[in-house]
Structure 1
Amino acid sequence: MVNFNGALIADNEVQLSIKNRAFKYGDAIFETIKVVNGKVVFLEDHYFRLMASMRMLRMKIPMEFTLEFLQEEINKVVKESLEVSTHRIRLTVYRKDGGLYKPVSNEIDYIIEGSPLETQEKEVYKIDVFKDFYNYSGLLSTVKTTNRMLNTLAAIFAEENDLDNCILLNERKGVVEAINGNLFIIKGNVIKTPALEEGCIKGVIRKKVIEIVDKHLDYTIEETAISPFEIQKADEVFITNAIVGIQSVTNYRKKEFTTDITNKIKSSLQLAMVTS
């Protein structure tokens, strides 16, 4: 079942107009959310990111769009499959039908879809750089819009080259992120991640990892520009997203990475998920 503007509808009965703006212009944003035993993981962070993204894209936020409202709307979908303990939820918000580039209205519709989730971290995880196209830097790139053509092409490239993921670059050939998450590299006691100004998604787990490392006396966190060359020289590399949490990278070209510090951060993140 899908939650379409508050009403539960069977997947095969959802009808979207040919004038749908998410389809025609990518005029939509989305949140990918993990639900464990009925609890939305890091709900507040997802909610505030959603609100900030809607404001940036000049979407009209309905008065009823409170934190509690979002929780209830997600629960409608989760309750349809109570036998499953962990769910992947996708919340898509898009401007109402009509208009060309200029919309008829800034009011929104939303769809919440859920699916059972079984995540297992891969022991061997290989990545490389995707160079065919660039993710242009700037604040608009930090928003999770439905315009994901670059990610799609990079995912096809990864499959064709027997990779688990790819690193996306910006127009300055600096590291932005992975196909499906933010990127962190570790060298000594310094942990780096691309700054938002580089064009990376303002990830919820990215934020949590930065908070964890920032409180740790043994390590320093830096949000900065990163070159692909620095990845080659790193001791450890990991990718973060809302579903997996932290995925360790084991191989970048001929380089093999350790996972000692990554595993410590992962343990702290798992504790934060439980107590959030």
Structure 2
Amino acid sequence: MLLYNSQLIPEAELRLTLTNRAFQFNDGFFETAIVADEKLRFWNDHVARMQAAAKALKLALPQTIVSGELETQLLELAKQNNAANYGRLKLKLWRGGGGLYTPETDQADWLATIVPATQATTTPLHIGTCETITTNYSPFSFFKGPNALLYVMAGIEKKEKGFDDMILLNRQQQVSELISSNIFWLKNNVLFTPALDTGCVQGIVGQNVLRWAKQTGIKTKEVYFDVASLLKADAIFSCNVTGIRSIATINGTSVRIDEDFIQQLREALQF
């Protein structure tokens, strides 16, 4: 089952026109979230990012999303798809109507899909540095969708080179993010992460990691570092809505792992 503009329908009944602006112009964005134990994990943060993304794109969100009714509808969809215990949600929002580069309306249409999933492994990652693309900071780089092709090309390079993930750099060769995760590193009890204007996505779990660190008394810094700086870290990890994973090697060079710290963080964020 799918949820299309608040209507619960079988997948086979979904009909989108060829003038659909998501298809024609990628005129929208998406959110990926996790359903766990009949709850939408970090949902308030997802809603806040959706509202910020809609403002950036001059999209008018449906009242369903603004009022909070959407959460109830999504949990019902999860039950219908046997995904309430653990499932992966993708919520796609786009500008409705037709038109060419000048749209006919700013009202958003939306589509939600939820499928059962298994919890991600916690095995440490072996990552490389992406050479195919660079991240680009813009008013639209903090949310998911407008720059999706960059991550697709990085994913192809990852597959070709046999890494678990790739570090994406900006044009100044500064660390920005991984393909679908934020990256953090710990050094002398200071927690570092790339600044938002390196072009990285403002990750939901990344925001929660920063909050936890501040509540715990760990100093945080959003920085502009090169890859070589990471090799000196006491611990490096990736995080996204599926979980938190240590990084074991970068371009074949081993880095320090502090699994006790990572496990403490996982427990604090209820992974």
Aligned counterparts of 2:163 and 2:119: Cα–Cα separation in 1? 18
The question of whether the paired residues in 1 share the 8 Å contact of 2:2 and 2:77 is answered with yes
CA shift for structure 1 position 84: 5.3
Moved more, 197-206 or 254-263: 254-263
Matched residue, 1:247: 245
Aligned counterparts of 1:245 and 1:94: Cα–Cα separation in 2? 27
Matched residue, 2:108: 108
**Cα deviations by residue, 1:150-205 (Å, 9 ceiling, x for unpaired):** 11111111111111100111121111111011110112211100111211111111
Matched residue, 2:255: 256
Aligned counterparts of 2:62 and 2:9: Cα–Cα separation in 1? 21
**Cα deviations by residue, 1:59-91 (Å, 9 ceiling, x for unpaired):** 012334335212122123112034751011111
- Aligned residue for 1:105, secondary structure, equals coil
Distance 1:237 1:72, change over 3 A: same
Matched residue, 1:209: 209
Matched residue, 2:229: 230
CA shift for structure 1 position 7: 1.2
Aligned counterparts of 1:39 and 1:124: Cα–Cα separation in 2? 27
**Cα deviations by residue, 1:73-111 (Å, 9 ceiling, x for unpaired):** 212311203475101111111001311121111111100
Alignment coverage as a number of residue pairs? 269
- Unpaired stretches in structure 2, ≥5 consecutive residues: none
Aligned counterparts of 1:135 and 1:121: Cα–Cα separation in 2? 27
The question of whether the paired residues in 1 share the 8 Å contact of 2:135 and 2:170 is answered with yes
Provide the alpha-carbon RMSD of the alignment: 1.7
Matched residue, 1:6: 6
Aligned counterparts of 1:186 and 1:139: Cα–Cα separation in 2? 29
Q: Which amino acid is the alignment partner of residue 247 of structure 1?
A: R
Matched residue, 1:221: 220
Matched residue, 2:125: 125
Distance 1:225 1:138, change over 3 A: farther
Aligned counterparts of 1:83 and 1:223: Cα–Cα separation in 2? 36
Distance 1:142 1:7, change over 3 A: same
- Aligned residue for 2:123, secondary structure, equals coil
Moved more, 48-57 or 66-75: 66-75
- Aligned residue for 1:163, secondary structure, equals coil
- Aligned residue for 2:216, secondary structure, equals coil
Matched residue, 2:99: 99
Aligned counterparts of 2:179 and 2:238: Cα–Cα separation in 1? 10
CA shift for structure 1 position 239: 0.9
Distance 1:160 1:128, change over 3 A: same
CA shift for structure 1 position 235: 2.2
Aligned counterparts of 2:144 and 2:210: Cα–Cα separation in 1? 19
CA shift for structure 1 position 238: 0.8
Taking the TM superposition and a 5 Å limit, the aligned residue runs for 1:77-92 are 77-82=77-82, 85-92=85-92
Q: Which amino acid is the alignment partner of residue 29 of structure 2?
A: I
Taking the TM superposition and a 5 Å limit, the aligned residue runs for 1:147-158 are 147-158=147-158
CA shift for structure 1 position 129: 0.9
Identity across matched positions, percent: 28
Distance 1:89 1:83, change over 3 A: closer
Aligned counterparts of 1:147 and 1:16: Cα–Cα separation in 2? 23
TM-score, L = length of structure 1: 0.92
Aligned counterparts of 1:30 and 1:176: Cα–Cα separation in 2? 20
Matched residue, 1:74: 74
Aligned counterparts of 1:124 and 1:43: Cα–Cα separation in 2? 27
- Unpaired stretches in structure 1, ≥5 consecutive residues: none
Matched residue, 1:65: 65
Aligned counterparts of 2:185 and 2:141: Cα–Cα separation in 1? 21
TM-score, L = length of structure 2: 0.93
Aligned counterparts of 2:79 and 2:205: Cα–Cα separation in 1? 25
Moved more, 38-47 or 70-79: 70-79
The question of whether the paired residues in 1 share the 8 Å contact of 2:83 and 2:115 is answered with no
Q: Which amino acid is the alignment partner of residue 248 of structure 2?
A: T
